[in-house]
Structure 1
Amino acid sequence: MTNELTPNWVPKSGLQLRLAGVHFDAVRVCGIRGEAVLHHLDALTDGRPGPVVRERSGCRWTYFLLAPGESAEHDWPPGARRFARCGPDEYIGVPAPEGNTYPLGWAAGPPGDGEFVDAELLHGVLRAQLCPAPE
């Protein structure tokens, strides 16, 4: 539900594209791997992983939204792609808090103002899930 605590970059209805690196950075993970990362983040944060956008069709991407500039602080493992203000313009689809937002939706509800996924925690979960242990 939209209220005074919802960030101004979240649309009131439908979907809107937002330039990565302005209001947030994003880390994208594909399919079941993204769902597994989300599951672990959800457990580690008592159900408050921060803003996570999920695609419900196609590749079923999961986008973890970080505070602007925070994605540059980590070397993301293969299978995780960073979107930030460091090259050509890249856009992320952002759904409204409610209504018809297909094919995108919020995994844990829309974010509160200033709420983001913890970049260090996400990085640790991604490395544990996507990087095989050396033998």
Structure 2
Amino acid sequence: MMETITGGEPGPVVAEASGKRSVYFLVPAGSAEGKAWPDGAVVLNAAPGRVSYVPVPALHGRTWPVSWYFPPTAPGRFVHTLLLLSTATAILN
């Protein structure tokens, strides 16, 4: 859905091939806070008393179990937070 709306380039997305098989959408810092995310979506934020991390693979070479589903295409290019929220809500509700 996001791929179609963005012409095939939704912004940087990382996929994990083991464990929970998580998918990480890289958004601008702080842009996910204060939004009503649907059940099933987990927001990872740095905050006092809280530790979060996102595994980021190298751009080239072997990085299993994480890899780029959509690699970054330009400095400062992120997944659009409201588009991600709309897509997650449509899929997870």
TM-score (normalised: structure 1): 0.64
Higher relative contact order (CA 8 A, sep 6+): 2
* Cα separation, 2, equivalents of 1:111 and 1:92: 18
**Structure having the larger proportion of residues in strand:** 1
Find the counterpart in structure 1 of residue 72 from structure 2. 110
- After TM superposition, the structure 1 = structure 2 runs for residues 11-50 of structure 1, keeping only pairs within 5 Å, are 40-50=1-11
The structure that has the greater radius of gyration is 1
**Structure having the larger proportion of residues in helix:** 1
SS at the partner of 1:46? coil
Find the counterpart in structure 2 of residue 62 from structure 1. 23
Identity %: 38
Deviation, 1:110, is 3.1
| 1:77 is the counterpart of 2:49 | no
TM-score (normalised: structure 2): 0.91
Deviations 1:82-105 (A, max 9, x none): 001234121111101010111001
Q: How many residues align?
A: 92
Unmatched tracts of structure 2, length 5 or more = none
Computed over aligned residues only, the root mean square deviation of the Cα atoms, in angstroms, reads 1.2
Unmatched tracts of structure 1, length 5 or more = 1-39
Letter in 1 for 2:6: T
